[in-house]
Amino acid sequence: MSSQSFDICVVGSGPGGYVAAIRAAQFGKKVCIVERENLGGVCLNVGCIPSKAMISAAHFMHRVKHDAPEMGFEIKSDIKLNMKKLVDWKQSVCDKMSGGVSQLLKGNQVTVLRGDATFKSKQELTVKTVEGVVSVLAKNYIIATGSRPIEIPGFQIDEKNVLSSTGALAMDELPKSAVVIGGGYIGLEIGSYLAKLGCEVTVLEASPALLNGVADRDCVQVVERKLKKNGVKVITNAKAKSYEKSGTDYEVSYEVNGKNEKIKASKILLMVGRKPNSDQANLKAIGLQIDEKGFIKVNSQRRTNLENIYAIGDIAGQPMLAHKASYEGVLVAEVIGGMNRAYDVKSVPAVVFTDPEIASAGLLESECKEKGYTDLKIGKFPFAANGRAVSIMETDGFVKIIADAKTHVVLGVHMVGPEVSNLISEAVLAIEMGARLEDLAMTIHPHPTLGEVVMETAEAALGHAIHIIQKPLRGH
């Protein structure tokens, strides 16, 4: 067994791991990264990137079919979907991104070890590679091993009968119908893209509402209406129990409001969330503290109870989002590099790539009240009153800004509509800087753009939006 020594060993090359490795290398550290599958992890290969590629393709097809004729484009023949070619294109996007990570690691002189990592102690781990076992000794370790799909009783993922998001993004034939178990962001994103491509989709959600507790309720209602318009059937309070083969289809049994029901579909997609991979790599055996939900316990510098071991990303707690992992990756590398850093953010933005998109930063209305903000100023402005939204035929949705009525400090921003995934960063910056409504309202936004809606929403909260009719407020 060969042995190698490093200043820092990063376990996992997802959006947290590879970012941590590169930043650590920039400090002149000798760094290695261990990856058992593909560089870029779940996000680049079977998660964020491929799902957004397929969503974009489905949205493109939907617009060609439904919006192009209204714009004056006469398409004489039917638009046919070559699912295998679409999946190949999606894979080319993933390969390009993963290849980019490989080049970045190489350019920063990070050693890549491909194989399964197993911790022997807090100073050593072994990597089982195709060439043999390699012993790695490092002064510091960064655990970034991520998460995997949750299974529920009666539905074991085999990527044939019951598919996770990984299998759902790799189907080379469009199923005639699909039952999506789980109405969270993963289920709705994948269910939406399949529906736009022509699949008959039914969503079974165990809670009373879609995206329950995840997004602003007003925003979710806009998405619910669009799902219905696109032919997606949603059943809430529905608990999936089991399934059995029924000819070429599968019959799913579920309980809704105490009553047993059944539904047939060509595919079953299990999208009920993800769990941290803390039961792997022998983490518990070396004494790492793990909480009751399976997350490694960390402090504000993402240190574990073992002083030379750090944890970032999905395995280190909620929210389980790629951009939070990347942020933590930079933070930990800088802490090891001698900088005085700590995780102290006011908001981690969240985006749901449904149709239309949902994006949020800061507090929900209910959370504001829980934190003692009893007097709020709330402004809403619809995309239907925005010139750019009208010109691209994407007018569903609005922006909502919540601020403290006394100070006008922005507490939360919630959006549903076109390209809100690209608009939310302004809101995050505003919240981090402690901006007031006037800061947003009095900042000139270019015209005609979707971003103007943020400015007009701030004006609406102050009582003087220009492009919607409001009751005049005294003193304005």
Q: Is residue 279 located within the same domain as residue 420?
A: no
Last residue of a domain, one of 223, 253, 272: 272
Residue 458 belongs to domain with CATH number: 3.30.390.30
Please report whether residue 154 resides in a domain: no
The pLDDT of residue 214 is 86
Number of domain units in the chain: 3
Please report whether residue 325 resides in a domain: yes
Q: Is residue 8 located within the same domain as residue 131?
A: yes
Query: Radius of gyration over alpha carbons of the chain, in Å?
Result: 24
Please report whether residue 70 resides in a domain: yes
Distance CA 220, CA 212 (A): 9
Burial class (CB in 10 A: 0-12, 13-18, 19+), 188: buried
Distance CA 232, CA 236 (A): 13
User: Given 59, 66, 408, 447, which residue is catalytic?
Assistant: 447
Q: Is residue 177 located within the same domain as residue 325?
A: no
Please report whether residue 342 resides in a domain: no
The pLDDT of residue 183 is 95
Q: Is residue 15 located within the same domain as residue 133?
A: yes
Three-state SS at 290: strand
Distance CA 101, CA 130 (A): 21
Burial class (CB in 10 A: 0-12, 13-18, 19+), 91: middle
The pLDDT of residue 471 is 79
Q: How many CB atoms lie within 10 A of CB 220?
A: 22
Length of the chain: 476
Distance CA 269, CA 403 (A): 39
Please report whether residue 471 resides in a domain: no
Burial class (CB in 10 A: 0-12, 13-18, 19+), 51: buried
Burial class (CB in 10 A: 0-12, 13-18, 19+), 469: exposed
Q: Is residue 307 located within the same domain as residue 234?
A: no
- The residues pairing with 246 across neighbouring beta strands, listed in sequence order, are 249
Distance CA 453, CA 389 (A): 10
Distance CA 304, CA 327 (A): 17
Last residue of a domain, one of 272, 294, 321: 272
Q: Is residue 135 located within the same domain as residue 41?
A: yes
Q: Is residue 258 located within the same domain as residue 208?
A: yes
What single string gives the DSSP state of each residue in 305-361? SSTTEEE-GGGG-S---HHHHHHHHHHHHHHHTT-------S---EEE-SSSEEEEE
Q: Is residue 142 located within the same domain as residue 264?
A: no
| H helix intervals, 169-216 | 185-197
Distance CA 123, CA 142 (A): 12
Please report whether residue 242 resides in a domain: yes
Backbone angles phi, psi at 174, to 5 degrees: -75, 120
**In this structure, are residues 304 and 311 in contact, taking their beta carbons and an 8 Å threshold?**
yes
Residue 104 belongs to domain with CATH number: 3.50.50.60
* The dihedral sign for the CA sequence 38, 39, 42, 46: negative
Please report whether residue 157 resides in a domain: no
Three-state SS at 394: coil
Backbone angles phi, psi at 242, to 5 degrees: -165, 175
Q: Is residue 18 located within the same domain as residue 133?
A: yes
| Angle (nearest 5°) at CA 140 between 136 and 146 | 85
**In this structure, are residues 411 and 402 in contact, taking their beta carbons and an 8 Å threshold?**
yes
Q: Is residue 117 located within the same domain as residue 169?
A: no
Residue 260 CA from chain centroid, whole number: 33
Q: With left for phi above 0 and alpha for psi between -120 and 50, is residue 280 left, alpha or beta?
A: beta
Provide the token pair at 159. 């990527």
The pLDDT of residue 474 is 58
Domain span at residue 249?
A: 162-272
Q: With left for phi above 0 and alpha for psi between -120 and 50, is residue 22 left, alpha or beta?
A: alpha
Distance CA 358, CA 398 (A): 10
**In this structure, are residues 312 and 20 in contact, taking their beta carbons and an 8 Å threshold?**
yes
Q: Which residues have a Cβ under 8 Å from the Cβ of 38 and sit 6 or more positions away?
A: 44, 45, 98
Which secondary structure element, helix H or strand E, spans residue 275, and what is its range?
Answer: strand 274-276
pLDDT in tens, the chain (476 residues): 899 999 999 999 999 999 999 999 999 999 999 999 999 999 999 999 999 999 999 999 999 999 999 999 999 888 999 999 999 999 999 999 999 999 999 999 999 999 999 999 999 999 999 999 999 999 999 999 999 999 999 999 999 989 999 999 999 999 999 999 999 999 999 999 999 999 999 999 999 999 988 899 999 999 999 999 999 999 999 999 999 999 999 999 999 989 999 999 999 999 999 999 999 999 999 999 999 999 999 999 999 999 999 999 999 999 999 999 999 999 999 999 999 999 999 999 999 999 999 999 999 999 999 999 999 999 999 999 999 999 999 999 999 999 999 999 999 999 999 999 999 999 999 999 999 999 999 999 999 999 999 999 999 999 999 999 997 665 54
- Beta 177-181 vs 267-270: how paired, if at all? parallel
Please report whether residue 210 resides in a domain: yes
To which residue do tokens 């992992």 refer? 325
Burial string for 412-429 (b: 16+ CB within 10 Å, else e) reads bbbbbbbbbbebbebbbe
Last residue of a domain, one of 272, 298, 324: 272
The pLDDT of residue 473 is 63
Distance CA 445, CA 352 (A): 25
How far, in Å, are 74, 147, 172, 231, 300 from residue 82 at the CA level?
22, 32, 9, 22, 49
Distance CA 90, CA 56 (A): 10
Q: Is residue 361 located within the same domain as residue 396?
A: yes
Provide the token pair at 118. 């197993």
- The residues pairing with 4 across neighbouring beta strands, listed in sequence order, are 136
Q: Is residue 127 located within the same domain as residue 203?
A: no
Is 445 tagged catalytic?
no
